Amino acid sequence: MIGIVNYGAGNIFSLTSALERQHLPFGMVNTEADLDKYTHIIIPGVGHAGAAMKKLQDTGLVEPIKALKKPVLGICVGMQLLTAHSEEGDATMMNIFPLQTRLFNKDQGIKIPHMGWNNIDHKNNSLFEGVENLTQFYFVHSYFIEYNPTFDIATANYGMPFSAAIHKDNFYGVQFHPEKSGIAGEHLLKNFSNLKQ
């Protein structure tokens, strides 16, 4: 069963609707004790990464999340929370991945935010099992996670390559919104729900 971290900075409705369409049971994580109720944890996120990190800290869930051994998925800003630092608000993140979250460079002739459908080039990883390579997913973001081959399991390009998905131990992150990415996105959520602890 999936637990959604409910810290006031996530697009809960779109995510719960996608889970319901896949008949995936879920509940809300509001306290540390709630983490024990679920086999898989999702950290959603929209908006400002620095503000989202502050909200997550206020819940007291940061250290309990970092200590988890069960599968954890960060979505969009939820993925950025897993990095070491974000330029958005010059904020320290959870530092589960030793990566930086950076602002796209307008000087490259690109529009910010990066919004819309984009192909991703993914590696052989259980999160993408059954998802064809170069499938399109839906993105809405102004900040990106720097590409690092150690943790990158999917890459997208928007003026430059960046990490569309990352993986380390039991922690996963996706910059795109699987809950808004149609069949492929819902398939990815189902794959996440099937990951072994």
- Annotation marks residue 132 as catalytic: no
- Annotation marks residue 179 as catalytic: yes
Question: What is the number of helices (H) and of strands (E) in the chain?
Answer: 5, 14
Helix/strand/coil for 61: coil
- Rounded to whole angstroms, the Cα distance separating 155 from 163 reads 5
Q: Kindly name the residue from 40, 114, 122, 179 that is annotated as catalytic.
A: 179
Q: What is the DSSP letter of 88?
A: T
Contact 129, 154 (CB under 8 A): no
- Annotation marks residue 186 as catalytic: no
Q: Kindly name the residue from 40, 76, 114, 141 that is annotated as catalytic.
A: 76
Give the other-Cβ count within 10 Å of 122's Cβ: 22
Q: Kindly name the residue from 114, 122, 141, 177 that is annotated as catalytic.
A: 177
Active site residues: 76, 177, 179
